[in-house]
Structure 1
Amino acid sequence: MTAYLKLDHIDKSFARGNQVSEVLKDIRLTIDKGEFVSIIGHSGCGKSTLLNLIAGLTTVSAGAVLLEDKEVDSPGPERAVVFQNHSLLPWLTVYENINLAVSKVFGRSKSKAERHDWIMRNLDLVQMAHARDKRPAEISGGMKQRVGIARALAMEPKILLLDEPFGALDALTRAHLQDAVMDIHSRLGSTTIMITHDVDEAVLLSDRIVMMTNGPAATIGEVLAVPLARPRRRIELASDRTFLRCREAVLKFLYERHRFVEAAE
């Protein structure tokens, strides 16, 4: 059976003059359709580079990214990215920002009325329909990220890529958005890959957690399955033995890698 998404022996290096920096080495991973996978590791381990390779924003040096057995070598609407910075156009309203993406992807396949309904459906999904006529400067950081997620989902991607989407938010807003993402994932069954530094967030949201070794030439150190039933409720999980065991395993991995960094200094 062919993997839905396959990272096949990926290497990635960047060259500057005569100097070559090896960022990723021999990345091997398969991800099933509908799976939620988090990628975690210390700063500089190439997490965002790996996400950019899957998005097609940069090309591999060796190996291949395969989505449904087709090689990924450029950006495409089947892989939508939500960055830590919402990247909304400030002169457009919430509705217009999403319409820009929807018109690009569905301009020929959906009528104007169908595109409108699709935009509103995705705004409803992130509970932002009430703010459709507001501009980014008129809404909070958490609301901007909701709009960014709605814009990504409105492209109906095969893979949703989240690059630390909640990193700049306060703890309460972050918790609400985590709950929103879990709800969206349960409703849509979208294949999701998320970069995070937050251990609790990774355990709460993920089916599996991919733990990266330190750079340079970072690779996958361990992959942890998170056998928690869905839907997940954070209050109940606070004392759940499986949650705590998974949390401990990730913390132990990261702590050991931090010791390696200190020893090298």
Structure 2
Amino acid sequence: MSGNQAFLDISDVTVAFGRSRVPVLNGIDLKIRRGEYISVIGHSGCGKSTLLNVVAGLLDASGGGVVLDGREISGPGPDRAVVFQNHSLLPWLTCYENVRLAVDQTLSKTMSKAERHEWTLENIALVRMTHAKDKRPGEISGGMKQRIGIARALSMKPKVLLLDEPFGALDALTRAHLQDQVMQIHADLGSTVMMITHDVDEAVLLSDRIVMLTNGPNARIGEILEVDLPRPRDRLALVADPRFIAARAAVLEFLHHRHTAPGLAAA
């Protein structure tokens, strides 16, 4: 991190549940720049999603805190939009209506009705779903549902986009298409993104930095890797790029050798 002031400042965040003396997360310090794409990766149970929930304001930290653009986070807010692995669309509403609901709830004081209509359509077009705007979630594929979930999140004009394994339930081809789309959106909008993932290739492809957590409980940041790959990124060209290969190897080495799952180190 350079000397620039952090846009999203996660400071000494510790999370413990119930009466447990051992926290899930312990002393997480992370400073994220405006417009940066950060991935958080680690073994199952290391607290990746717990950290995202603290930033989202869905979970209170036991210690430490989070400051976004100079304001401390104390609960959910429209300045942070979350896209979960499961799309969480309302099944009785059309794709347009799902996005429009978020627009009306967050932007009704700053946009007229006509402006909100155009803004809804613009965000649906951004994820290339105009052709399905009048369909309901039950009538479209999983990948298309995730596109609408991303459009809904972006339509709120959030300061930070929080992605919790957003492509994890999709087939490989659909996942690749959506990854490319998110890369393009990040390039076009300059969004600040924090993504939880377990996919090493995905983390290297999309991220400016990869935050690697040690095993839980009592998980900490074990290492942060700067991804030295110019943008825009072409997944096919990167396969043979020595910088991509080196970054991928560094993350795999961390996950499988220095911080293997509990009980496997001696195997």
The alignment's TM-score, normalised by the length of structure 1, stands at 0.97
- Per-residue displacement from partner, 1:47-66 (whole Å, max 9, x unpaired)? 00000000000011111101
Name which of 2, 6, 22 aligns with 1:3. Answer: 6
Q: Where does structure 1 differ by over 2 angstroms across 4 or more consecutive aligned residues?
A: 18-21
Deviations 1:44-92 (A, max 9, x none): 0000000000000001111110111211010000000000000000000
Partner residue of 2:17 out of 10, 14, 30: 14
1:153-192 superposed matches below 5 A: 153-192=154-193
Taking only the aligned residue pairs, the percentage that are identical comes to: 62
102 and 259 in structure 1: CA distance in 2 versus 1, 3 angstrom threshold: closer
- Rounded to whole Å, the distance in 1 between the matches of 2:227 and 2:69 is 24
Q: Which residue of structure 1 lines up, in the alignment, with residue 33 of structure 2? A: 32
Residues 215 and 261, structure 2, Cα contact 8 Å, conserved in 1: no
- Answer yes or no: is the 8 Å Cα contact 1:46–1:218 preserved in 2: yes
Q: What is the count of residue pairs matched by the alignment?
A: 263
Contact in 2 for aligned 1:2/1:68 (Cα 8 Å): no
In 1: Cα distance, 2:24 partner to 2:154 partner: 30
Q: Structure 1 regions of 5+ residues with no counterpart?
A: none
Q: State the match for 1:204 in structure 2.
A: 205
Per the alignment, in what secondary structure is the counterpart of residue 29 of structure 2?
strand
CA distance in structure 2 between the partners assigned to 1:199 and 1:215 by the alignment? 19
Distance 1:264 1:72 in 2: 41
Give RMSD over aligned pairs: 1.2
Output the TM-score relative to the length of structure 2.
Answer: 0.96
Q: Matched residues in 1 for 2:238 and 2:5: separation?
A: 34
Distance 1:154 1:86 in 2: 15
Measured in 2, the distance between the counterparts of 1:69 and 1:145 equals: 31
Shift of 1:264: 7.0
**Equivalent residue for 1:113?**
114
Q: Cα distance, 1:259 vs. partner?
A: 5.9
**Partner residue in 1 for 2:72:** 71
How far off is 1:31 after superposition?
Answer: 0.2
Give, in whole Å, the separation in 2 of the partners of 1:184 and 1:259.
35
